[in-house]
Chains A and B, each alone.
Chain A
Amino acid sequence: MSYRRYTEVEKQFLKENINKYTYKELTSVFNRQFKTNKAWGSIAKFCKKLGLNKTYYGHQHNFSAEEKQFLKENIDRYTYPQLTQAFNARFGTRLTQFSISDICIKRLGIKRNKAWKFAKGRKDFVYSCPIGTESDSGKDIFIKVADNYREGVTPSKGSDPNWRRKQDIVWEQAHGREKPSDGVILFLDKNNRNFDPNNLYCTNRKINFMMGKNKWHSTNKELSLAAIKWCEMYYALKEGPTDG
């Protein structure tokens, strides 16, 4: 492959157009104009050799206040490709769709209002269970205690403040006080469908963990309760009177 020298016309063309295009675009225009097959790397290298000062790199664009305002006003009217087209037509730029979506989302903090997106707030068509409804999740039975609307994805019943575990409610009613924040209600006979208040015992996660570790969760109430008492004594001895 022989080396072909750049003609004066070609050099002049590069000088005139270096700041109008990116190197890739310039190469494409150059090849079309002079019927050559140059790679963009060789064009870029030659421009540097000529000492041409490149200030336009295509991706660098400082958005003016007017341009930002245009985007804010028109983001709801178009899709990103349409918005890009409208923007380029209005301001004579050659920005890509991704430049436009980037400035909108990351810098201006505005997003397209999707036609299929629901408005915020309670939806009329969503069926909501009445308060007092019992729901069996397989492991636990939950009771609906409130109907407060929550925006976004519905959480699992265990973390939804509208639902509470049935054993918690039964235990609180039987003892006339609220379950402690770190409390766990255990079924002494291991049957999680037996909501007899005598079968429920409020303890904490540490003790529940120790019961599990020793495999002491038993179908026998007396054995379970003796084991729980032992765990409580273990922690009482370990932590002393200040924490007890």
Chain B
Amino acid sequence: MTLLELQQVLGERINIAIDTSMSIEERKKETELSQTISSLAKQMINNADIVLRTNKLVAEGALKNSAIEKMIGK
């Protein structure tokens, strides 16, 4: 899933969360689903953030001969 698709999914979940026409049962079910999506989305955002920061460090040459490179075994 791309970040653009994630934005779309999150947008839909926001609309569901603020929808007043749902019954209590439906809301409960949707909230549970939204919370699951929320935790996954948070992980995706953090991963993307790490990738972006790593790319920046690689471009700057700051990761050469670093401990993380040894751990990766490159």
> A: which residues have CB within 8 A of B?
215-216, 218-220, 222-223, 225-227, 229-230, 232-234, 236-237, 240-242, 244
Contacts and interface: CB of A to CB of B under 8 A. Distances in A.
B52 to A, nearest CB: 6
Interface of B: 2-4, 6-7, 10-11, 13-14, 17-20, 27, 31, 34-35, 38, 41-42, 44-45, 48-49, 52
Which applies to chain A's interface (DSSP): helix, strand, loop or mixed? helix
A223 B48 contact: yes
5 contacts: A220-B52, A227-B45, A237-B34, A237-B35, A240-B17
A98 B66 CA distance: 73
B34 to A, nearest CB: 6
A222 to B, nearest CB: 4
B49 A223 contact: yes
Contacts of B13: 233, 236
A105 to B, nearest CB: 58
B38 A223 contact: no
A149 to B, nearest CB: 44
B17 A236 contact: yes
Contacts of A240: 17
Contacts of A232: 10, 14
B29 to A, nearest CB: 13
Given A233-B41, A237-B35, 20 more contacts: A215-B49, A216-B45, A216-B49, A218-B52, A220-B52, A222-B7, A223-B48, A225-B3, A226-B7, A229-B6, A229-B11, A229-B14, A232-B14, A233-B34, A233-B38, A236-B18, A237-B34, A241-B18, A241-B19, A241-B20
